[in-house]
Structure formats: structure tokens, C-alpha cells
A and B are shown apart, each in its own frame.
Chain A
Amino acid sequence: MRVVHYLNQFFGGIGAEEHAGAGIEFRDGAVGPGRLLEALLGDGAQVILTIVCGDNHAVEHQEEVTAAVVQRLRDSSVDLFVAGPCFDAGRYGMAAGALCSAVQSQLGIAAVAAMHEENPGVDLYREAVYIVDSGASTLKMREVLGRMAGIGKRLVDKEAIGLPAAEGYLARDLLRDQLGSETAATRLVDMLLAKIRGEKFASEMSPTKFSPVPMPAPVKDLSKAKVMLITDGGLVPRGNPDRIEGTAATRWGAYNVAGRDDLRSEDYEVSHGGYDTRFVQDDPDRLVPLDAMREMERSGVIGKLHDEFLSTCGRSNPLSNTRRLGREMAEKIKREGVDAVILTST
């Protein structure tokens, strides 16, 4: 088995945080924990290449680094790509997830990563990539590498991988059909009785966990601030030029309102299958309050209303889409020097 291993500057032996800006390096053979990985894979497996990159560089130049790795591995008969374990190093986890995901989808190479459940890389990549639950402590290195090796081997051999709890990887939010011995009605009543009695019970599905979002500082001087309007109600120009879908939208648009005091029905339509759109179609300001915001700008309450409003459709949209849409919008917001956003949601 030919294995490629991705490590950050620390595990790659370059140095600690002060070397987080280190660029990408390709080294022959196994490095650091890669040696143990090789031993645990056994059966003549070889780490033929170790890719080392500084955490800051990997995150700041994610597209470049990903492209470089894909380019290097293309046409090179690699069986398995292993990234980490990253433990709770967030930038490392983001990079590891991104690389595993790219290598899998673009080159069809089996991939496995490992990180702590709360690593930001988990939320973004858990559905796409097998991520072993490493916990936060590097003391578990050997045990974690062992689980990565086990899953890695089975991915390469295309053998079945069991459920998360059994195999020690993080739940991927995937549903798998299984034949049970009792009907759902029986299981439901059993669960309810246990709950009423104050006994322990295991929910078959767990609600999505949302990590708390740190509260941004208030705007110091609104009269100097540039404010942008954003909506997930699906308001788009007539003809929906960016073809934003009315369900599970994968795209968002930026629409110019410079010089407009009011949004007119004849200029817009609504792409959103989740609510009765007549009222917004009759007066789009009912969703994107341009008229009121223009007044605020004129009277100096706000410094400037940004010339575009951003729009997408929030209906039945999986987090795997919306997290990306949000990130892309945030990049636009930063690029445009916007100080504050008003998001209107249906």
C-alpha cells in the first residue's frame, strides 16, 4: 500500500507556532508520527511521501496548497492519503479536511483524517471525510494512528466500515438503513417510558449541534458605518440571472441598488419554494428594506448603504451548502469594507 501523509509544521519537525507560516514541502518517506503510522499499517505499507505545511500558510493559501497537493498526487498511484492527527489544532484541522476532501473527490484516492470533535475542520468536512475522533490530547497518538490505519486499510480494500461509535470516528451525519428486531412504534414507546421514568435512553438521531458564535463588538459610530443588506428570502432580479435555486440553493448573488430609493416589483422576482411569495413580489421592500435604509443613509443615521444587497435562498438548505455560502459572503463583506450587516430572513 502506497501512503501519503500530511503534517503541519510542528509534527513535521520544522518548529512550533513561530513557523506556522512555513510553505508547503514535499519530503520522501515517513516523517515523525508517519513512521508509527507505517508500522501500524503493516503488510508492506509504505509512506512514500510526507507533505508538510505551516498552519497559517495552509489556511491563508488554501486553494493554492490544495491545488499543489492534487497536482503532485495526480497520476502517481497512491492508495491512501492520511492527514493528521490534528487534535484540537484548528488551522491544521481545516487544512487536513480540505486536502482529504480534494484528494478524494478529484483523484478518487481513499482518505482519512483525525481531530478533536470541536476542531472547526470537523463541521466542514465530517460529511465528506472519515475523521477519527482523536480527542484533544496528543498522548493518544498511538491509539489514534491505530484507528486511522484500520479505517484507511478498509477504505483501500473497499471493505465495510462500521458505525462511528464502534469504529471511533466522528459521526458523519449520514443515514444508513438497518433491519431492526422491533418496529419503530415499539422503540418509540420504550424510549418514552424510559424518559418518563427518568431512566437512560439513547436517541436514535441526535439534533444538529451548533457551536456558539462569538458576539461581534457593537458598531462604534453608525453615522460613519457602511451597512449592507443581505437576505435568505430568495429575492433576485427578474429572470434570476444567477439561477439561484428555490431549494437547497448552492449559489448567492450580489445585486446593485445604487441610486435606487425603493425596490420595484417589476424589477425583481422571488426564488424560494418555502413561503407564499406574493407579498414580497408586490413590494420587495417587505423583504429587503431598501427604502427605509435609503432614508437612514440620507438623514445620516448610517454613513453609507452598500451599493449591493446579497441574496440567496434559505429553504431546505443543508449545512454543507449554507456554511460555504456564508463563508463566501463573509469574504465579500470583508473585501468591500462593510462595517455592519442587516440580514432579513423568511
Chain B
Amino acid sequence: MVQITAARPIAKMVGANRVVQGTGIVHVTGDAKLPPQDEKDLRRKLVQQALDALQSNEKR
């Protein structure tokens, strides 16, 4: 499992081993300030980070 969240310290506190920093509490895999295409690119990047974490042995 990998967790994407903007509140990474909370995830680490409860013991999550793989945590990816999300963009914001109100849009964890998005950014309402960005134009739609840029937002999609951002989301793709976050999801790719998450998928990378799933394949890695690194605690993060």
C-alpha cells in the first residue's frame, strides 16, 4: 500500500511505510489553481510517484 496525502506527518505517525506528499488537503491529487491540462499532468506525476513507491523497498 502507498498513501498519498498532504498531511504526511499524520500518516507517518500512525505507521504508514510508503507515503507520497499530496498537493493539498482539499485536492490531494489535483490543484484547483492550475489550468486543467497542467492539473492532469500533476496528477499523473503524483500517481507515478505512488506506483514507484509500490515497487521500491524504500521507506518514505
Contact = CB atoms under 8 A, between A and B. Distances in A.
B3 A343 contact: yes
A342 B2 contact: yes
B13 A342 contact: no
A213 B50 contact: no
Interface string A228-247: 00000100000000000000
A345 B3 contact: yes
Nearest to B18: A215
Interface in B4-50: 4-7, 11, 13-18, 22, 25-30, 32, 39-40, 43-44, 46-48, 50
A216 B1 contact: yes
Nearest to A215: B17
A279 B30 contact: yes
B26 A346 contact: yes
A217 B59 CA distance: 11
Contacts of A346: 5-7, 25-26, 28
Interface in A183-233: 210-213, 215-219, 222, 225, 227, 233
Question: Which range holds the interface residue count of chain B?
Answer: 35 or more
B44 A286 contact: no
Given A216-B17, A222-B54, A287-B29, A296 B59 contact: no
Given A341-B1, A343-B3, A345-B5, A286 B17 contact: no
Nearest to B14: A210
A219 B55 contact: yes
A279 B4 CA distance: 17
Contacts of A280: 26-27
Contacts of B22: 344-345
Contacts of A227: 51, 54
A301 interface: yes
Given A213-B17, A219-B55, A296-B51, A286 B1 contact: no
Contacts of A345: 3-5, 7, 11, 22, 28
Contacts of A218: 54-57
A218 B50 CA distance: 12
B32 A279 contact: yes
A227 B28 CA distance: 19
Contacts of B56: 218
Interface string A270-310: 00000111111011011111011101100001100000000
A57 to B, nearest CB: 29
B23 to A, nearest CB: 8
Contacts of A277: 26
A287 B6 CA distance: 11
Nearest to B1: A341
A302 B54 CA distance: 11
Contact of A211 (B7, B15, B17, B44): B15
Interface of A: 210-213, 215-219, 222, 225, 227, 233, 275-280, 282-283, 285-289, 291-293, 295-296, 301-302, 340-346
Given A279-B30, A344-B5, 11 more contacts: A213-B17, A215-B59, A218-B54, A219-B55, A277-B26, A289-B43, A291-B40, A302-B51, A342-B47, A345-B5, A345-B11
25 contacts: A212-B15, A218-B57, A225-B54, A276-B26, A278-B26, A279-B27, A285-B29, A285-B30, A286-B29, A286-B30, A288-B29, A289-B29, A293-B47, A296-B51, A340-B1, A341-B1, A342-B2, A342-B3, A342-B4, A343-B1, A343-B3, A344-B5, A344-B22, A346-B5, A346-B28
Q: Which 4 pairs between the two chains have the least Cβ-Cβ distance?
A: A286-B30, A345-B5, A286-B27, A213-B15
